[in-house]
Chain A
Amino acid sequence: MSRESYQQLLDELRENVVEMGDLVVERLEAALTALRTVDPEMAQSVIDGDEDINELYLALEADCIDLFALQQPVATDLRFVAASFKIITDLERVGDLATNLAAYAQSADRRLAPEVDVDTIGRDATEMVERSIDAYRREDVEECRAIAADDDALDALCQRASETVARDLIEREADTDDGWAVEQLLDDVSRLLLTVRDLERVGDHAVNIAARTLYMVETDSELIY
């Protein structure tokens, strides 16, 4: 295979990783919409679509392995393929988290759960993933560092949300005679806390993508942990 074809394979890998990122963001947005509007059908479409993301992940993983084995990339090319190999794993995990959110949307009642601004947290987390994919596409190291910095704000939002739920539970006068209400409350609160935790993890995966991109471009491992 000529080096021209090799370069074409590298270009295709970059395009495909960005496409996978776009698909994952789309599914994440759909899951959040399903959660907000309590739309079981939309939630089901996100759950069913996870298989597409998994297949895409496996196909791109195979592409990376082929590049390692057959082209033996070095230097910039090596860092690019290695970073892409790691980034698709993060994207696949974000896809799984979108599926989790969709599953919460299907079983959500939330009539008894405390008010938490899940929309804002979800929007911020989704935006971080979008930005990280764009930073990877453009090799924008400043954006990578900005995403890592913004994750602190997302973590703080998530922390406050979890505290709000805990405080509400403590302050609430439980009607222990009504077994159904207690059960429902625990279900709602559990799902809400899991939702917040999963969105916080979405942000972490965005930081991972930014970290791998930063290393890919500048061999700077400051964000990798």
Chain B
Amino acid sequence: MANENQSATAQQSDTDQLISTDPGGGGLSEQSDNQTVDSETESVVQSQNLDVYYGDTQALQDITIEIPSNRVTAMIGPSGCGKSTFLRCINRMNDLVDIARVEGDLYFHGQNVYDDYVDPVALRRRIGMVFQHPNPFPKSIYDNVAYGLRIQGNTENLDAKVEQSLKRAALWDEVKDRLDDSALDLSGGQQQRLCIARAIAVDPEVILMDEPASALDPIATSQIEDLIEELAEEYTVVIVTHNMQQAARISDQTAVFLTGGELVEFDDTDKIFENPESQRVEDYITGKFG
């Protein structure tokens, strides 16, 4: 990114254009009980009293949190605690689940992403996602990265954009001589980095990662973790992981969700893992509960 300030300004403006036609949407001045870790850091995603239901089952309860920009925020908790549900709320992936119902507010740069006038497809361009299992398209390496750009009609200097994305995803050196090979011929770790390259090709502001390394071997996991730290210099990264040591290694802040869809504690990662405030969090991370 040539100039971060210019880019951030452009992204803000772009965000307004892409997701909202309502000039008055989504002020945050009435928030009173946010879980926030650093008031000096601008938050990019904010939820306020967010509830999510799957049919009659409540998956998230009253989640209020501010996710700071250009940091890695980890979400941990036992299976079924709602951490992935929260992640999928951020770019409205839960819209694809028929029985899912969202109440409360979730803001992206002050715009409530659940307002009627928000285009979820446009939102997902600004908030990309990487899943647990690498899911490259059955196309060439090049075409995977170029896919989103072509859909946007953003094909000027396509080669350069593909190269830049692959470099940012720390994959370029390994694939530069075989860009026309099938993406499915890559190793699992390479496929996952290709998916990251595909996600960042359209220049999102936030990257959501749902257990991105859980299907990878230790070396590929280490490469993904290194990459996540590098990505945080330009992007806001929110990662769901079952691996608490991974959260401790790579994240700046950690949010702990516990059974029942409750956000119990959100703080700097070293605080969470050395001296959590909540006894329930203490019991969970030390393995006395779960």
Number of A positions contacting B (CB below 8 A) = 11
Query: Main SS of chain A's interface residues?
Result: helix
How many residues of B sit at the interface, in one of the four size bands? 10 to 19
* Chain A residues whose CB sits within 8 angstroms of the CB of B17 once the complex forms: none
Q: Is the CB of A75 within 8 A of B245?
A: no
- Does chain A have a CB within 8 A of B276? yes
Q: A72-B245, A75-B282 are in contact. Are A3 and B288 (CB under 8 A)?
A: yes
CA separation between A77 and B273, bound complex, in Å? Answer: 10
Q: Is the CB of B288 within 8 A of A74?
A: no
- Does chain A have a CB within 8 A of B248? yes
Q: A3-B288, A6-B287 are in contact. Are A78 and B274 (CB under 8 A)?
A: yes
Report B241 CB to chain A, min CB distance, Å.
Answer: 14
Which chain B residue has the least Cβ–Cβ distance from A73?
A: B286
* A188-222 with Cβ < 8 A to chain B: 219
CA separation between A73 and B245, bound complex, in Å? Answer: 10
* Chain A residues whose CB sits within 8 angstroms of the CB of B245 once the complex forms: 72
CA separation between A62 and B282, bound complex, in Å? Answer: 26
* Chain B residues whose CB sits within 8 angstroms of the CB of A219 once the complex forms: 274-275
- Does chain B have a CB within 8 A of A159? no
* A113-155 with Cβ < 8 A to chain B: none
Which among B245, B273, B286 has the highest number of chain A CB atoms within 10 Å?
B286
- Does chain B have a CB within 8 A of A110? no
CA separation between A31 and B14, bound complex, in Å? Answer: 78
Q: A72-B245, A74-B248 are in contact. Are A79 and B274 (CB under 8 A)?
A: yes
Q: Is the CB of B285 within 8 A of A75?
A: yes
* Chain A residues whose CB sits within 8 angstroms of the CB of B275 once the complex forms: 75, 79, 219
* Chain A residues whose CB sits within 8 angstroms of the CB of B28 once the complex forms: none
- Does chain B have a CB within 8 A of A76? yes
